[in-house]
């Protein structure tokens, strides 16, 4: 998880919560950083599950420890991201949950980065 990078779009600053709730911003960025970019096997409710790109398993207590945000605020914010913002989907068990970042491939795909790099280099060459 500590390797690589994620894209963070400036459109985040246009979200209603951006100027009013820094803990939501913090949690959103944390979710992006925790999501796998290649796929890996993790445990969900004591059973192995394969997490695809943009997914990961986690418990509310673990997110609280990692971010410093209270467990109750974590739960409310995850529900907000799921029901209001429609940024995630959750599959809950008694012990943890599978979080899926919606539109992960659309926003994190390396193909977009290749296109951006090509456009930048073409632009520089013409100048």
Give the start-to-end residue ranges of the domains of the chain.
Answer: 10-126
Separation of alpha carbons 92 and 9, rounded Å: 28
The pLDDT assigned to 104 comes to: 94
CATH label, 10-126, candidates 1.10.390.10, 1.10.10.10, 3.40.50.720, 1.10.10.60:
1.10.10.10
The pLDDT assigned to 109 comes to: 79
Other C-beta atoms closer than 10 Å to the C-beta of 88 total: 22
Please say whether the beta carbons of 51 and 57 come within 8 A: yes
Please say whether the beta carbons of 78 and 85 come within 8 A: no
Closest CA to 31 of 57, 12, 4: 57
User: What is the token pair recorded at 87?
Assistant: 């940024």
Q: Model confidence over 65-124: pLDDT tens digits?
A: 999 999 999 999 999 999 999 999 999 999 999 999 999 998 887 664 444 444 444 444
Q: Model confidence over 1-55: pLDDT tens digits?
A: 567 899 999 999 999 999 999 999 999 999 999 999 999 999 999 999 999 999 9
Please say whether the beta carbons of 99 and 55 come within 8 A: yes
The pLDDT assigned to 121 comes to: 47
The pLDDT assigned to 14 comes to: 95
Separation of alpha carbons 85 and 9, rounded Å: 15
């Amino acid at each position: 998880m500590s390797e690589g990078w994620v894209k963070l779009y400036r459109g985040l600053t246009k979200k209603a919560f951006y100027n009013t709730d820094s803990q939501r911003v913090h949690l959103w960025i944390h979710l992006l950083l925790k999501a796998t970019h290649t796929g890996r096997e993790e445990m969900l409710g004591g059973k192995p599950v394969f997490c695809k790109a943009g997914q990961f398993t986690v418990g509310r207590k673990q997110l609280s420890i990692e971010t410093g945000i209270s467990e109750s605020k974590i739960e409310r914010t995850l529900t907000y991201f799921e029901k209001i913002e429609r940024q995630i989907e959750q599959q809950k068990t008694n012990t943890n949950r599978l979080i899926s970042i919606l539109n992960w491939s659309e926003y994190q795909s390396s193909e977009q980065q290749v296109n951006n790099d090509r456009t930048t280099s073409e632009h520089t060459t013409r100048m």
